[in-house]
Structure 1
Amino acid sequence: MKRNFDEDKPIYIQVREQIEDQIINQQLKANDQAPSTNQLVNYYKINHATVSKGINQLVEEEILFKKRGIGMFVAEGAREKLLEKRRKSFMEDYIVTLVQEANKLEITTEDILTYIKKVKGSGK
């Protein structure tokens, strides 16, 4: 996990996204214990309420679940839920804007696909 935060985004969202990334990247798998709130507070040197807010959102979305007195664990199907959520967000945040701009510039679908293949093939 990275310790530096982006000033343009609330810290609790960044903590949440880093846990999500660990689940997506399979560093944390279903039924694995997630870092505790106290571990995250100590690691990041941030307020307990900030960490709790991000963790509680993951619990509300059933990405994590609590075992009373033991800790937080990754829920079954959490990775799939996160992938679906991120794909939808990717579509809304990038693809829609890309297509709108391409239409303005009269760039064809074939040209877009050629550009994507070129960029993807270059390893960027």
Structure 2
Amino acid sequence: MILNADGSKPIYVQIAEWLEAEILNGNFVKDQKVHSQYQLAEIFNINPATAAKGLNILVDENVLYKKRGLGMFVNQGAKEIILRKRKDHTLKKLVMELVEEAARLHVDEEELVNMIRSLGKGDQR
């Protein structure tokens, strides 16, 4: 992953999201140690304090837990926490934007639902 320093998301948020994606993809599992702030700093060529801020977001959300002197580890239920958060926040935001754009384009609910269903079936028209 390449971080977007010019993007609208702070780098520490991008670090947290990258770790979430790694957990969702099964690259880190329950009770497995994740990269330290110094390893993340080296991987992404960022300040260790920025990496630590990203890790601490996930600690605050109970995705990771700290073992003093040993590092950060994936918490039990981390995957479910991430899925719920992304569904409740990210997906809802995208749906709201989609509904608002559909209204601007005078696309009614039935047409929008049909578009979504057809794309779900692989029709990319």
TM-score (norm 1): 0.86
- Matches of 1:15 and 1:23, distance apart in 2: 12
Name 1:5's counterpart in structure 2: 4
Letter in structure 2 aligned against 1:50: T
Q: Which runs of 5+ in 2 are unaligned?
A: none
Divergent runs of 4+, >6 A: none
CA offsets per residue over residues 8-29 of structure 1, 9 Å max, x none? 1211111111001111222211
Name 1:117's counterpart in structure 2: 117
Q: Which runs of 5+ in 1 are unaligned?
A: none
Could you tell me how far 1:122 is from its partner in structure 2? 4.0
What secondary structure does 2:97 align onto?
helix
Name 1:23's counterpart in structure 2: 23
Name 1:88's counterpart in structure 2: 88
Identical residues among aligned pairs (%)? 37
